[in-house]
Amino acid sequence: MKEHNILNQLKVVCSLCSLRELCLPIGFALEELQQLDALTGSKRLVRRGEYLYRTGEKFAAIYAIRGGFFKTSVLHEDGREHVTGFHMMGDIMGLDAISTETHACDAVALECSEICEIPFDRLSELSMVMPVLHQNLHRIMSREIAFDHEIMLMLGKMRAEERLAAFLLNLSKRFSARGYSAASFQLRMTREEIGSYLGLKLETVSRAFSRFQEEGLISVQRKLIELKDADGLKRLLRV
């Protein structure tokens, strides 16, 4: 009974690990996704606008996104909110809560999403007997740290249009790694949320979008973005 349970969890976790490889540039993803689809972990549906977890809640599990789109944000005492990340299929959320065993940010679904809940104590147990899992956990956390440092550079050093260009290119790369079009995608977040993430006001984001369109770099129709000239966007980053 218990054996079966552990084995099942093991399956979950294996798929999770390979799934995460999506974030690497290489694109050997599809069959892994189907594996994930076949597994029987504790899934949950989170509707648009619903919280997956909130700041201050007891930490019990990390979450792998099977489909959909999330934002995470931290709240300052004075009410200021800062969006710390956007998360999509294959991403892991909740890793920042391990140290305090309390969630340090809010996670909200930006569209109807399905997540796979992975009890953290179970995961820890498993990773003690499964070196590859252990290793991958470290990798995932390490990658998040390194990525956050990139964002810090962006927030600290880049001008508005550079930030937006970097943002669009990053989204494009991530969609592409998941088998979607790199050149054309639907934004799930508002201009205000993009602004919060990039340290800009929504008007500035809107103006930058318009400017990129004027210059023929992208085409914008509300939330539908088409990258017309990705190299042009990349050039913006090497000012």
Q: Which residue, chain included where needed, has tokens 């639907």?
A: 186
Q: Please select the residue that binds a copy of itself; options are 127, 184, 190, 206, rule is CB under 8 A.
A: 127
Q: Please select the residue that binds a copy of itself; options are 6, 39, 60, 98, rule is CB under 8 A.
A: 98
Q: Choosing among DNA, a copy of itself, none, which partner's interface includes residue 207 (Cβ < 5 to 8 Å by kind)?
A: DNA
The yes or no reply on residue 144 touching a copy of itself (CB under 8 A) is yes
- Part of the chain binding DNA (CB under 7 A), chosen from 3-11, 114-122, 140-148, 219-227: 219-227
For a copy of itself, which is the closer residue by CB, 37 or 57? Answer: 57
Q: Choosing among DNA, a copy of itself, none, which partner's interface includes residue 222 (Cβ < 5 to 8 Å by kind)?
A: DNA
| Residue window 46-75: x/- pattern of binding to a copy of itself, with contact defined by CB under 8 A | ----------------------------x-
Q: Choosing among a copy of itself, DNA, none, which partner's interface includes residue 159 (Cβ < 5 to 8 Å by kind)?
A: DNA
Site for DNA in 131-170 (CB under 7 A): 159-161
| DSSP secondary structure of the chain | -HHHHHHHHHHHHHHHHHHHGGGSS----HHHHHHHHH---EEEEE-TT-EEE-TTSBP-EEEEEEEEEEEEEEE-TTS-EEEEEEEETT-EE-GGGTTTTB--SEEEEEEEEEEEEEEHHHHHHHHHH-HHHHHHHHHHHHHHHHHHHHHHHHHHH--HHHHHHHHHHHHHHHHHHTTS-SSEEE--S-HHHHHHHHT--HHHHHHHHHHHHHTTSEEEETTEEEES-HHHHHHHHT-
The yes or no reply on residue 182 touching DNA (CB under 7 A) is no
Q: Which two tokens stand for residue 155?
A: 């927030």
Q: Where does this chain bind a copy of itself (CB under 8 A)?
A: 74, 76-78, 80, 82, 84, 95-100, 104-105, 124, 127-128, 131, 134-135, 137-146, 148-153, 155-157, 196-199, 237-239
